[in-house]
Structure 1
Amino acid sequence: MLRSTGARTGRSAAPAPSTTAGAAAMIVPVPVCAAVGAAAGLAGVVFGIPAALAAVGFTKAGIAAGSMAAAMMSSAAVANGGGVAAGSMVALLQSLGAAGLSLGAKIGLCLTLGPLGAAAGALWGKRRTGSSTENTSELKVE
């Protein structure tokens, strides 16, 4: 484990005893963490949303019997006197499950979730490395 106190104390970096039996943690630069977060946000739009819809029961073939989607559809039908209202949440989710997201929806979600993922990755990277705006001269390697 290396610890550098930087220019504040004037001491040089010296190896400290390792508590991980020789295994060193890898420091990933903040821009890499941001890029990984952005990729995760984009992958969520392309793969995660359709997979989540299918897992709940909104499939390309229709609503899966015995699924959460079937329970939602039943509740919506009872509440509306026997039919599912056009434009309701069940109808919207079934449409998304059957046809997928439109190009416009994918673009909109990518423009939202990509930057959010990048910001989350950057914050995670800053916390992992221990960097802050107050003191950027310290380096922590665990």
Structure 2
Amino acid sequence: MKRGLFTILGVATGAVGTVVLAPVALTMAGFTSAGIAAGSLAASMMSSAAVASGGGVAAGSLVALLQSAGAAGLSAGAAAVVASVGGAAGAVVGGAADMLSHSNSPPSPPPSPPPPGGDQEEDEEEEEEMEMTQELMLKYVKQEHSEFVRFNKSRLKMDPLTLIATGAAAAGAIAAAPAVLAAAGFTAGGIAAGSVASTLISAAAVANGGGVAAGGVVAVLQSAGAAGIPLAGQAIVGAVGATLGAVASMASNGTV
């Protein structure tokens, strides 16, 4: 299997998984759409925060931010942070899997010596050939071991750069997506005249006999431009950004 493939898969899976599972984790902790659940972890955190703040929960504090996310969903900024963390964690796990999958298996044992007997000169020649074969195999094992160690050392030096690139690309993709949609003409006020979006909607209408199909690419993009990118969309955007960041970093280091 090609080197770096597990790392790329880990980045994409981690970015998508964390964004999708974050609301579930918040609800399980007690940060729900109806408020803090009694007897939950969230209730304990809120109580501690109130004691520390003299009776109230400070605006902008961790408890306030978590409850806001539990009640209204993850914001674009929060989704970017979550995707970055998930992508970075996936890069670590995938990198470890890459290292394990490319560890070299020991070479096959040398062939068994011929049975005793026969011409003495032939036996001596065969013995010399056997010794040469063993020497060559020993050199091969040492060389392969050195290359494997050198490859793993290079990965250890590269990993921090990959993690940084993964997180930055995931956060950047989610943060930039609304601006890209608006620049393309998918705005809160509708399709902008003379834009890329207007060209796409015209082509979609022609292809569908005069209307734009619900659930089509144009309809989905305009919905995101008007109402914001939904959680599932943010997960996909973050995963794509994280994957591209990881691939770019690994390509620059020669590990993919």
TM-score tier by shorter-chain length is: 0.5 to 0.7
TM-score, normalized by length of structure 2?
0.37
Bigger RCO (CA 8 Å, 6+ sep): 1
1:135 counterpart SS class: helix
- Contact between 2:18 and 2:82, CA under 8 Å: does it hold in 1? yes
1:94 aligned onto 2:106? no
Mean Cα displacement is larger for which, 34-43 or 107-116?
107-116
Match in the other structure for 1:21 = none
> Within 2, Cα distance between the matches of 1:72 and 1:109?
20
Counterpart residue identity of residue 95, structure 1: S
- Contact between 2:57 and 2:63, CA under 8 Å: does it hold in 1? yes
Larger strand share, 1 or 2: 1
- Contact between 1:30 and 1:121, CA under 8 Å: does it hold in 2? no
Deviation at 1:122, TM superposition (A): 2.5
Match in the other structure for 1:134 = 146
Match in the other structure for 2:96 = 123
- Contact between 1:33 and 1:121, CA under 8 Å: does it hold in 2? yes
Counterpart residue identity of residue 5, structure 2: V
> Within 2, Cα distance between the matches of 1:43 and 1:69?
25
How many matched pairs?
Answer: 109
Larger Rg, first or second structure (1 or 2): 2
Counterpart residue identity of residue 147, structure 2: N
Q: Which runs of 5+ in 1 are unaligned?
A: 1-27, 137-142
Percent identity reads 50
Deviation at 1:114, TM superposition (A): 2.4
Task: Select which of 45, 49, 53 maps to 1:76.
Answer: 49
TM-score, normalized by length of structure 1?
0.61
Q: Which runs of 5+ in 2 are unaligned?
A: 105-143, 149-256
Match in the other structure for 2:8 = 35
Alpha carbons of structure 1 residues 124 and 86: separation in structure 2 relative to 1, 3 Å: same
Let me know the Cα RMSD of the aligned residues: 2.6
- Contact between 1:76 and 1:84, CA under 8 Å: does it hold in 2? yes
- Contact between 2:15 and 2:85, CA under 8 Å: does it hold in 1? no
> Within 2, Cα distance between the matches of 1:100 and 1:68?
19
What pairs with 1:19-58 in structure 2 (closer than 5 Å)? 29-58=2-31
Larger helix share, 1 or 2: 2
